[in-house]
Structure 1
């Protein structure tokens, strides 16, 4: 796209969105096979079930992708503002992302702060694990 910020954000959205969609697709497939008769599992698979599964897949893919895109964008923005590449960028990017996603979901202040702390901690842990490998 010609812009490093947009490139990273869109890349994060697409990659992690695909992971989220794949997760739900696997869950829905398992549920379908589990509920059907053992010999012909697809007999009980209706158009409504398929539409419901596709709706869940798209919703989850967009949610995971949006969260990842916001995180990647925030981490990159913090890195550019600070002028250094270290674990603190992941921590701040995760905290900002947790707060933004939580606030956009309509949570109260206490929940927003808790989600910001949690997301910052997860991002920092992931960054430390990444350094170990």
Structure 2
């Protein structure tokens, strides 16, 4: 179930979202977590640029907000698709192992590539890359 918490001193606020379906819960959780990371990356890069230049304007803040939304939505969507694919493969296979990450990564890489209007070999290359990254992360998690 997707959840988040905010803590300030002795005050703590927890938020949980239950969509009534484990697939939806995991997909939304992946979207929210990785989407937030994508948005934070934009903030960090733009803050560095502002410090480096030594100035900031309202227009720059508006552009940063737009980029935060765009990057957060993009990376959140990719993560949501991956988490949903991996969970679906796990349920279909009845096994929880690295092969689910491989298949989920391949499917996500191909789907995201096709959605961005890539063709043929580029889709296959992105599918292989997605599968390789997902499998590598799974093995690294296993080692730690």
Q: Would you say same fold, with TM above 0.5? A: yes
- The whole-number CA distance in structure 2 between the counterparts of 1:53 and 1:33 is 14
- Structure 1 position 125, deviation (Å): 0.5
Q: 2:28 matched to 1:17?
A: no
Aligned residue for 2:20, secondary structure, equals: coil
Whole-Å separation in 2 of the counterparts to 1:91 and 1:119: 8
Equivalent position SS for 1:85? coil
Residue among 58, 68, 82 paired with 1:47: 58
More helix by share: 1
Residue of structure 1 equivalent to 2:142: 131
Q: Which runs of 4+ in 1 moved over 2 A?
A: none
The equivalent residue for 1:75 is 86
Say yes or no: does 1:28 pair with 2:42. no
**Structure 2 unaligned spans of 5+:** 1-18
TM-score, normalisation: structure 1: 0.93
Structure 1's unaligned 5+ residue stretches are 37-43
Deviation of the 1:47 alpha carbon: 1.5
Q: Equivalent residues in 2 for 1:86-125 (5 A)?
A: 86-125=97-136
Structure 1 residue 46: deviation in Å? 1.6
The DSSP-based 3-state class of the residue aligned with 2:95 is: coil
Aligned length: 126
1:40 maps to none
Q: Using the alignment, how far apart are the partners of 2:23 and 2:127 within structure 1?
A: 22
Higher relative contact order (CA closer than 8 Å, sequence separation 6+): 1
Residue of structure 2 in register with 1:3 after alignment = 21
CA distance in 1, matches of 2:49, 2:142: 38
Structure with a larger share of its residues in strand:
2
Q: What is the rounded CA distance, in whole Å, between the counterparts of 2:40 and 2:61 in structure 1? A: 15
TM-score (norm 2): 0.86
